[in-house]
Structure formats: C-alpha cells, structure tokens
Structure 1
Amino acid sequence: MSSTLPRTWTPLGNDLNAARRTWAELEGDPVASDDKTFSVIGRRYMRDVLPTLGLHTQRDYAQYFELLNKVFGEMPIDVIRPFDIAEYLRVRGAASKVRANREKALFSTIFNHARSWGYTDVTNPCIGIKGHKEKSRDRYVSDDEYAAVWACAHPTVQDAMDLALCTGQRPADVLKFNVNDIFDGSLNLTQNKTGKKLRIAIEGELAQVITRIMAKPRDKVNKALLQDPDGRRLNYFALRSRFDKARDLAGINFQFRDLRAKAATDTGDLAHAQKLLGHKNRTTTEIYTRDRLGDLVSPLRRVKKVAQ
C-alpha cells in the first residue's frame, strides 16, 4: 500500500483575485521578518487591506500592483526615490497617462501603509511628483442614444439603466439597492464613495421603474432590488458585459457611468442636481453638468431686417 498521506484541501473562495493571493501564499517561501521590499509590503496590503475595498476597486488594484511589482518589487521600500516615481510615470505614461496616475496613487497608498506598519519612516517619494494632466470626461448621452442602447439591452440592464438615470447614482450604488431601502416613500442609500446619505422621493418615472422591477419574478429571500433571472443580485461584471453588448448592437459608444452626468444635466436645475449627485460643492456640479452639454447663451444681438 502507498504511504502517501491524504491530500489536504484548502478552499480558495469564489473571488479570483483573493484566490490567487491565497495560492501564492501557500506556494511561496516563508518571508523573512526583516524583508522590507516593495513586493513583501505590497503583498501584505493585498492580503490585509484590499479585501475591505469594493470589488471593482479590488480588480483594478490587483492589476496596478502587478505592474508596480515588476518594477519596484525587489527594491527595499525606503530606497525608492522621487526620481524613480517620476521615471515610472514618464515611461508608463507613454502607453497610458491615466493608468500611470492610478498606479502611482496605489504606490503612494501602499507606501503610507508601510510607514504605519513600521517598515520605514522616510518621506513618501510620491510627494511633490505631479501626475499626468487628465482631461475631464465630457460625454453627454442624448435621449435617442439612450433609447437605442436600452432597446438592445438585456432586461436587467434596462432596469439598471433606468434606475441610474432616475437617481443619478454611480453604478456601484445602483447595484447595491435593496428592497428594504424603500421606505417612507423614498429610496434610501449611503453612497459608497462619499458616505453621503440620500433619500430620493419615489415619484414620477422612478416610481414606474421600481413598480416594473418589483412586478418581475424574484427571489423573496434575496433582498437585492436588481436580480438576475436566477434570483441572484445583479453584479458589476454581468452588468458591464451585457451593457457592452448592447452598445455594440446599437452602434453607440458611451459608458454606463455617463448616465450619472446625464441625469444631473437633464434636471436643468443646479441645486437639484447637486443634491441628487451628493456633491458637497456647487462648483463641482456646475463643472460636471456644463462640460457635458455646454452653457446655454443668448446670441449677441438680433439680425437687423433689411428694408424691402
């Protein structure tokens, strides 16, 4: 008989990024307690901090860290200089300025955690290093474009689009709406990004949309407002995939997040738009809406009629 011991199975979970990190820890060599390389500290951040963030953020940060680790992985955290960060921005920015900025931001976050964990007490090398200038997004979705994509979309995407347009909320906040968020005649939420609490009156088109959603077959145990046909909560990846497919079929290119700006712009009322979006400053709302559609201005003067 074989003397091989029975295998021990370690569950890796349902999240792919978390599973990869767990697998790496199981297969990797023990880490020396005095190892202060960016790779070691970054892996600790990915293990301890990343799971507390939103799924979308987890996915993006995992990609950013992979690229940062290829460059800084073997370097002790306290020998990385501002010049190194500037050079990373320059080289990486040749391919994608926006991604370079995001990766720099993650490096800065990891470095700050390294300071709080006692790995170093040197100044964050990202301080004083300016990222690439980014152009603010100014895409406005017309009613006809919205209708064209909506007509090609999966019913779950149609519901999500209508909720986003009626409420003006970010995709993550739209997806997290629960049935029990509906009370006292309003749809209640706390925004993921800002922590801002909002109560949106259920009236007009929003009332019609919610009535339509609630009339569909649904899992009564699952409290998610937006559900897949199998009764599970509609997730970001399913929404993104189905929305992209609808865009391709319609031959129209805009992003789901552009519906938030459309909602604000279509109100025609900055005070209303500011409250709906949860902006602290009116100036933010002014820029957000004006850049999408442009200022409405009167002509300089009337054209004089030529005498007959």
Structure 2
Amino acid sequence: MNAARRRTVPDGLPNRVYAKSGSYYWVPKGAGWIKLCRVDDGERKMLERLAAEMRKRERPEGLGNIPALVDLYTDAHKAAHREKRWEDYGKPVKKDFADINIDQVDPACVKEFLRNNWHDKLPMKRMMRSFLNGFFQWCREEGYMTAENPCNGIKMPKPDPRDVYIPNDHFDLIRSNIDDPMILCMVDLCYLTVQRSTEIRNLRWRKTDDKTANWVDREKGVIHFMPSKTLKSSRVAVDWPISAEIETVLERARTAGSVKSQYVVHNQEGGFWSDTSALRVWRRACNAAKLGKHGYTIKDIRAKALTDAQRAGYDMKALRIAAAHTDAKTTEIYFKGREAPVSTIHLTIPKSA
C-alpha cells in the first residue's frame, strides 16, 4: 500500500487515520498501514479500534486506557481551539494517569492530580480542571466511561479580584514600546471599543459564514461584536460606532502588513494572533518601558477603558451596554482605582452635663 500523505483538506478524522478503499486505516510513525475497520462499521468502531492499537503500540510505559483516550480527545477537538498547542494540556494527564483506566477515576483522583501538580498556581489549576471536565464529559458521551464525570462537585476557589489600573503615563509608555504594529492596533482597538483582546483578534474586515464572528460593517458604520463569553449564555451583542479615532486605527491595521487577511489584526502569515503570542509582545513592551514589575496584562486594558469611561461621566447603563453585560454588577467589577468617598460627618467629644 502507498505511503501515507499529509492531508491537505480537513476530513474530521483523527491524526494519521485515513479512509481508503472502504476501510479506515491508522498509519503510526515508522510503521505500515493498520486496518481498523470498514467505513460502514462507523466512526465509533473506528475510534475503539484506534484506541486499542494505540494502547498496544504507543504506550509501553502504562497499562491504563486514559492516555490513548486523551489522544483521541485532543485530536478530535484541537481544531476548535485557537490556542496554539492546546493539546499539550493532555500531556500531564497522560503521564499521571498512565496506569489507570477511565472508569477508575473518581473525584479524589482529580483533586490529588491538581493538588500535586499546581498546588499554589490557581490559574493553571483552574485551566486543567476545565480540560479534564471536557475530557471526561466527552468520554461519557462517546461511551468510553460509564461512571459520573469525576470533575462534578469539585469546587475551585475563585481568583482574588484584580485591582489593577494602568495610569495614562504608563499606558502611553507601553504603547510607545510595542514593536509590532499589528499588536499596537490591537491594544488601541481594545481600549477604544472596550472589548476583550479575543474579540479584537477575531475581528474580520467583512461578514463571513461564521455568524458568531466580529466584523467591520462599513455600510452601517459600526463594528458588530458578539463577545465570545456570551455565546453560550446570554448571547448579548453590541454594535460599536466607528469613530474617527477608530477609523484611523483600522486604516493603520489595513496598511501595516504586507499580507492580505480576513482578520483586521493578523500575524505575519495573515492568520489569527494567538493570545500567548500577543501577550509575549505586550510583556516585551512593558519590560522595555521598565514597567514589568507592575505585572500589567492585556486584560487590564478593558478595565482601564471602562474605568476611564466611568470617570468621564458615562452612566451605568451606557457602560453595561458597552461591555455587553446583562448585569451592572459585572460591569462594576471592572472599575479600578476607585477613590474612597470622603465623609461629611463631623463629631466632637461629648461632655457630661
């Protein structure tokens, strides 16, 4: 049989699995074509056979089936995640659960795994719990797991509220040290539209088949934002008028790169800027401005924008709409550096009659 070729068109099959002559085949590195089952048997049968073959050939160090299932899960879902190397979250899971079968995992196992690996790193612990929750849910839905999702009932402490405000002089210094013009455009649009960097990095020049995409509508003179955080909940959207200053930034973005792209802010290849790559440029600018010790993040731009808008006199309703929030209490969380009110009460020490 001919050697396997890298697929050029996504077909929804796991990595190194091909449909040929009415059958599914797996082509592990350094080996020939291994028949899994007939296409007519269905993808469920193919996945089961693939998991069995992966257990035999790729994991001599472990006895359980979790590592093979993690590979199946990440192969099936990595295309849906824009985060570069999202599948790497599965590596510590495969290592620590190498000798465990999926139905042996209980909440105590999950808690021990999180505690032992990220005891004092709450953000990473929350990220890994989210990954595990999705993985176990997929295993249940695909029939690999009969027990309850072991992540159910595991409560994670919420991170402490972040009370960071970037002063104007610091913001100006950081902007002047950003060495990538596209990231500077991203920072400016984040501030001017009060949106998260995810929405700006996902902003398109025109409407696409993706109904959830953010896009520039020249005809109506607005930018349509469908915040990613509301997609699976309230689906609250906001249309942001293209002001003269926003138009200037859009023009800078249009002429900054030599590659045409559907994205307003794009990398050198015309693709989507990942959050980690954008953050790397931002941190480099903070360090160049000698402000690294403050720990400013790209997320702090949205808090600064909403705080500045509040100080400029905009009322809560306008701020809530701008932030695409359904509850004003959520908007209030973004107000930073609030000054304590001055009491007008004046007392004197009482004296006996």
TM range (shorter): 0.7 to 0.9
Provide the aligned C-alpha RMSD in A.
3.2
Match of 1:173 among 183, 195, 199: 199
The SS at the match of 1:293 is coil
Identity in percent: 20
Cα distance in 2 between the residues matched to 1:102 and 1:238:
18
Report SS of the residue matched to 1:49: helix
| Structure 2: runs of 5 or more not aligned | 9-13, 18-25, 35-49, 56-63, 207-215, 349-353
Is the Cα–Cα contact under 8 Å of residues 141 and 258 in structure 1 kept in the other structure?
yes
Query: In the alignment, is the contact (CA less than 8 A) between 2:182 and 2:253 conserved in 1?
Result: no
1:26 matched to which residue of 2?
28
- Asked if residue 264 in structure 1 is aligned to residue 259 in structure 2, the reply is no
Say which SS state the counterpart of residue 199 (structure 1) adopts.
Answer: strand
Bigger relative contact order, structure 1 or 2, given CA contacts below 8 A and separation 6+? 1
Question: Does the 8 A contact of 1:98 with 1:132 survive in 2?
Answer: no
Q: Report if the CA contact (8 A) 1:153-1:242 is conserved.
A: yes
Distance 1:267 1:106 in 2: 36
The answer to whether residue 327 in structure 2 is matched with residue 281 in structure 1 is yes
CA distance in 1, matches of 2:69, 2:118: 25
Structure 1 equivalent of residue 278 of structure 2? 239
State the 1:116 CA deviation. 0.5
1:129-152 Cα distance to aligned partner (Å, 9 max, x none): 222442232221111111000011
Q: With structure 1 as the length reference, what TM-score do the two structures score?
A: 0.80
Instruction: Describe the shift of the 1:225–1:37 C-alpha distance in structure 2 as closer, same or farther (beyond 3 A).
Output: same
Q: Do 2:204 and 2:263's aligned partners in 1 also have CA atoms closer than 8 Å?
A: yes
Question: How far has the Cα of 1:302 moved from its partner?
Answer: 6.6
Residue in 2 that maps onto 1:17? none
Q: More displaced, 230-239 or 171-180? A: 230-239
Per the alignment, residue 343 of structure 2 pairs with 299
Q: Residue 51 of structure 2: SS of its match in structure 1?
A: coil
**Structure 2: distance between partners of 1:255 and 1:192:** 19
**One-letter amino acid of the counterpart of residue 285, structure 1:** T
**CA–CA distance in structure 2, aligned partners of residues 32 and 217 of structure 1:** 50
Residue correspondences, number: 286
Letter matched to residue 26 of structure 1: P
- Alignment-mate amino acid for residue 175 of structure 1: R
Give how far 1:104 is off: 1.8
Shift of the 220–69 alpha-carbon distance from structure 1 to 2, 3 Å rule, reads: closer
Stretches of 4+ aligned residues off by more than 6 angstroms = 33-36
Q: What amino acid maps onto 1:10 in structure 2?
A: R
